[in-house]
Amino acid sequence: MTTPTYNRVSLPSNDNVNPYVFCVDLNGQWFAQKGKMIAYYGQIRFESLSAGPLDALVAANFHSPLYARDWIVAQGQGKLLLADRGFDVNSYDLTDGNLTIRAGNLLAFEPGLDLKQSIIPGFLTLIGTGRFIAASNGPVHFVEPPVRVDPQALLGWADCPSPCHHYDHSYVRGVLGTAGSLLGIRGTSGEEHQFDFTGEGTVLMQSSEVVRDTETVLRDLEGQIGMLGAGGLQRLQHFIAQRLAVERD
Amino acid sequence: MLAVDLMGETIRALNGSMVAYDGQMTFKRQGITGGEGLRGALRRRVAGEGMTLMEVTGHGTVYLAHEAAEVTLIPLQGDTLYVESESLLALDAGLRTGVQFVGLRGMSSGQGLATTKVEGHGMVAILSDGPAVALEVVPGEPLQVDPHAYVAHRGQLQQDFVTDVNWRTVLGQGSGESVQFRYQGHGVVYVQPAERGGGVLEI
């Protein structure tokens, strides 16, 4: 049981090396998330999106200022190996499609695709034709709406209307009570909240609830603060102070 | 998990890595010099490249594992394997170990200034976060590796840094892949599909 040894020629071309490593046969430019490159053969340079010569490419394909600092462009020729925290890595082809995916799980995509921010915080939408690479904690499952999905197990969705939040009745009742609105919700099972999908399309789920997106959610919220006026900001400050006091107890 | 069939021979394994065995086994913690002689032990102490191995002898099967990490077997035929001491699970008793100073490379991956060297004929089992991928390096075809994904390498390889640190890096808008190891020569490099955190060169 010795591991096979790969070289530049024997590495698969645009395919998985093993379930956790993907090899991109780079000839041109790809967008990639920072820090996911583990090794490469050939002449490849990594540039942040702020690099001057990339202006046209970024203007054409990258429309998410919130995540711009997390992304780079790999350009050149060679074999590029991508991996993420030992998660399962898979490639997907979109043909004139529309797919939304959790921001932290998208590793790389071809410039044939346009990247935009989804309405749902922490998610990114890819539109167009091309290939992208995504990571999931455990294998990916494809399900068809109508379906309700645990927010942490949701990886993304394709071609169907954006989901809405669904809360169980006991949770709603908790919020309506005075204690609930003041102290936050207590004594819940943790499964009262789901994303509700309807219509035609495909929903992608991962086999665990491991996500790492506090950072992205935080940045989404920060991005939305701009919409509030002075009065709104004061009210938010008051609310945060109240919640902080509760957390400290 | 690694299963080793023993028929009277001895292997060296990471202290505390035995999870089960059948047959007759004796486990002996290696003495203070760790089989590297007094000089070797001093070098190891100076380098801070701590390594505690135990000797396992007996008849039967011993099962070794460490924090559910993946195990990769590397057969050595007279060549040298360079590996971090914490990535070493087990090795044949006939193999020699020593400390190699590597300078800044270890610093950048957060693993100290020295690495462990294994030489001789026999089998080495190394640990990685996810299955290790073996990448061959031949003359004229260098390989670049992210310091955080590096696990081990073997053969006649020269190692140097590739950096493209520029003014954007200073502004905190670096590409995140500004520092890479470049391997040239003849050999094999092992990388893992996950990136360790905690090097000094987080740019």
Q: Residue B105 above 60 pLDDT?
A: no
3-class SS at B41? helix
Residue B49: which domain range? 2-191
Strand bridging mode A62-63 / A113-117: parallel
- How far is the C-alpha of A212 from the C-alpha of A122, rounded, in Å? 10
3-class SS at A211? coil
The answer to whether the Cβ–Cβ distance between B135 and A69 falls below 8 Å is no
- How far is the C-alpha of A134 from the C-alpha of A109, rounded, in Å? 9
C-alpha distance from A91 to closest chain B C-alpha (Å): 16
- How far is the C-alpha of B151 from the C-alpha of B181, rounded, in Å? 12
Q: What is the pLDDT of residue B102?
A: 62
Chain B residues near any Cβ of chain A (below 8 Å): 72-75, 129-136, 138, 141-146, 148-149, 164, 168, 173-178, 188-189, 191-195
The answer to whether the Cβ–Cβ distance between B145 and A8 falls below 8 Å is no
Burial of B98 (0-12, 13-18, 19+ CB in 10 A): middle
| B36 vs A14, more confident | A14
| A190 vs A82, more confident | A82
Q: Residue A213 above 60 pLDDT?
A: no
Q: Are A156 and A101 in contact (CB under 8 A)?
A: yes
The answer to whether the Cβ–Cβ distance between B74 and A48 falls below 8 Å is no
Over residues B86-112, mean pLDDT:
70
DSSP letter assigned to residue B169: H
The answer to whether the Cβ–Cβ distance between A50 and B168 falls below 8 Å is yes
- How far is the C-alpha of B143 from the C-alpha of B137, rounded, in Å? 6
Nearest to A58, CA basis, from A44, A73, A70? A73
Q: Are B88 and B127 in contact (CB under 8 A)?
A: yes
Give tens-digit pLDDT for A135-189.
998 888 899 988 888 888 889 999 877 788 887 776 666 666 555 545 554 545 5
Among the partner residues B132, B148, B194, nearest to A3 by beta-carbon distance:
B132
Strand bridging mode A202-206 / B2-14: unpaired
Give domain A15-135's CATH architecture: 4-Layer Sandwich (3.60)
In a domain, B107, yes or no: yes
- How far is the C-alpha of A228 from the C-alpha of A239, rounded, in Å? 14
Q: Residue B171 above 70 pLDDT?
A: no
Domain boundaries, chain A: 15-135, 137-212, 213-249
From chain B, pick out residues whose CB is under 8 angstroms from the CB of A30: none
Nearest to B183, CA basis, from B141, B126, B148? B141
- How far is the C-alpha of A197 from the C-alpha of A202, rounded, in Å? 9
Give tens-digit pLDDT for A25-67.
999 999 999 888 899 999 888 888 877 777 788 888 888 877 8
Please, what is the Cα angle at B25 between B19 and B31, to 5 degrees?
90
Q: Are B61 and B2 in contact (CB under 8 A)?
A: no
Give tens-digit pLDDT for A66-118.
788 888 899 899 999 999 888 999 999 999 989 999 988 999 999 989 999 88
Q: Residue B170 above 60 pLDDT?
A: no
Give tens-digit pLDDT for B26-84.
888 765 555 566 566 666 655 555 667 888 888 989 888 888 888 889 999 888 998 88
Give A92's contacts (C-beta < 8 A, 6+ positions apart).
Answer: A99, A131, A132, A133, A134
Residue of A nearest to B169 (CA): A48
Listing DSSP states for A141-193 in one string gives EEE-SSEEE-TTTEEEEESSPPPEEEE-HHHHHHHHSHHHHHH---S--S-SE
Q: Are A28 and A80 in contact (CB under 8 A)?
A: no
Beta bridge partners of A108: A32, A133
> Residue A226: in which H helix or E strand, if any?
none
Strand bridging mode A88-102 / A154-158: antiparallel
From chain B, pick out residues whose CB is under 8 angstroms from the CB of A90: none
Q: What is the pLDDT of residue A125?
A: 93
Q: Residue B174 above 60 pLDDT?
A: no
Q: Which two tokens stand for residue A200?
A: 């035609």
Q: What is the pLDDT of residue B50?
A: 61
Average model confidence (pLDDT) for chain A?
83
Among the partner residues B130, B143, B189, nearest to A20 by beta-carbon distance:
B130
Among the partner residues A6, A47, A81, nearest to B175 by beta-carbon distance:
A47
Number of domains in chain B: 1
Average model confidence (pLDDT) for chain B?
77
- How far is the C-alpha of A122 from the C-alpha of A163, rounded, in Å? 14
Q: Residue B154 above 70 pLDDT?
A: yes
Q: Are B115 and B80 in contact (CB under 8 A)?
A: no
The answer to whether the Cβ–Cβ distance between B135 and A20 falls below 8 Å is no
- How far is the C-alpha of B34 from the C-alpha of B45, rounded, in Å? 11
Over residues B11-23, mean pLDDT:
85
For residue B109, the domain's CATH number is 3.60.160.10
Cis-peptide, bond into residue A146, ω within 30° of zero: yes
- Tell me how far CA of residue A59 lies from CA of A54, A65, A68, A140, in angstroms: 8, 11, 12, 32
Give tens-digit pLDDT for B79-96.
899 888 778 888 888 888
In a domain, B199, yes or no: no
**Separation of CA B182 from chain center:** 18
CA atoms within 13 A on the CB side of A198: 3
